[in-house]
């Protein structure tokens, strides 16, 4: 799969694996053909441990804010500037 076209922040519709609505998904093989990578809701996994935080996926603006909020809650004052 190839996602082509420039990212345009004003066209970020918070959907699919592409960053903005002007980008197009091209299926290079039949393996993933039929799966909707353009309009499905974005999903992320957030994993928090004592010493790390991991975000997997392409977050929406709201998901990214939630991740940053979660990190701030777990951050120790002596470990980060």
Measure the CA–CA gap between 3 and 27, rounded to whole angstroms: 9
Token pair belonging to 55: 């975000």
User: Residue 61: phi, psi to the nearest 5?
Assistant: -60, -40
pTM: 0.59
Residue 80 CB contacts under 8 Å (≥ 6 apart), including other chains:
none
Q: Which helix (H) or strand (E) holds 65?
A: helix 61-74
Measure the CA–CA gap between 70 and 39, rounded to whole angstroms: 27
Q: In terms of pLDDT, which residue wins out, 32 or 80?
A: 32
| pLDDT beyond 90 at 22 | yes
Measure the CA–CA gap between 33 and 23, rounded to whole angstroms: 17
pLDDT in tens, 25-40: 999 999 988 888 888 8
């Amino acid at each position: 799969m190839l996602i082509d076209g420039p990212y345009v922040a004003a066209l970020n519709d918070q959907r699919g694996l592409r960053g903005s609505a002007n980008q197009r998904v091209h299926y290079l093989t039949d393996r993933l053909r039929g799966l909707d990578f353009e309009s499905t809701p974005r999903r992320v996994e957030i994993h928090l441990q004592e010493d790390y935080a991991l975000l997997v996926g392409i977050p929406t603006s709201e998901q990214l804010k939630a991740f940053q909020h979660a990190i701030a809650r777990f951050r120790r004052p002596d470990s980060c500037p």
